[in-house]
Structure 1
Amino acid sequence: MPFARFAGVDTILGPEMRSTGEVMGWDRSFALAFLKAQMGAGTNLPAEGRVFLSVKDTDKTAALATAARDLVAMGFEIVATRGTATWLAEANVACEIVNKVYEGRPNIVDRLKNGDLALVFNTTEGTQAINDSRDIRAVALYDKIPYFTTAAASIAAVQAMQARLVGEIGVRTLQG
């Protein structure tokens, strides 16, 4: 992740950072292009493990529920905060509930520090939620755990992980 170059930086993306980048992925499909872009930026999407999912209410969409089901179909286990777990249960997605930091221990930061999680999807809204997730972002960055802060990027990451299973990662020229 490019953030690893700057000690103490918070990885939550503001509008100006969502529109800039260091690399470009190029392929016939968006999913493989996104995968290549992540690889080029130094983000290694996992092939197995547990995924932490905590999303704001406006991101609790059918598309994100489908992405969560796709993760389970690929063999991943889902770990979620209570509100997200309730939404996932309504969408027929099995998950394990984990405490938020202020809800006591063990909590999500403990799970990250223990190496229990391979991927983080955490969308937040409002100052309090952003502050509450700062420790999560810091640990994920330090331990090089891929971390996505928007629903669109989370869905794209799942699509990229699926594409990696069935597609060959090749080289293409910009002209062809």
Structure 2
Amino acid sequence: EPAHAALADADAEVRLEAVAVLGWLKDRRAVAPLAALAAADAHSAVRRAVVGALGFAAVNETAAGTALLHALADADWQVREEAASTLGKLRLPAARDALIHALDDDYWQVRLRAARALGRIGDAHAAPAVSALLAHPISNLRKEAALALGELPSASSLAPLQAALDDRDPEVRKAVRIALQQLTAQFEGGVS
């Protein structure tokens, strides 16, 4: 109860601590107040903490989903990055289009988390957009895009991944091999 009350404290540090406590406790009663705070708090550090804390919400809790989708358009890139990560943890299918849009974010860190979230969601419709990241100049982003493609059951991922087998970065090549193995196993198991 004190942590719930502290969400409205005038001091941002107190609100941060309250968010941390409620997230750690995974208090279901906190989902709606946290979701409201994710959009309304004036401090980006609090919004980012709230977005991360919402990772304990159930997929069917619309307040959390709505708050996370809204956070993908936050003015602060770190909040957007955390929102993409949390949407991936929740594997929220309704987030697919917003995450695909986040693949064009100005910050590569947001793009990276959006790609991984799309992989976790596993919707094959995201494969073409994620495949486009295999040509990005930042190798970490190419690597994460490859790993995400391995989780997307789409035959359209095969050609871009095979082309990326010659990537100049050995970590990207390793991720591509892993992704191709995953896709091969999925197709042999009857997924198309």
Higher helix residue share: 2
Whether TM-score is above 0.5 comes out as no
Q: Which has the higher contact order (CA 8 A, sep 6+)?
A: 1
TM-score (norm 2): 0.26
Alignment TM-score, normalising by the size of structure 1? 0.27
Larger Rg: 2
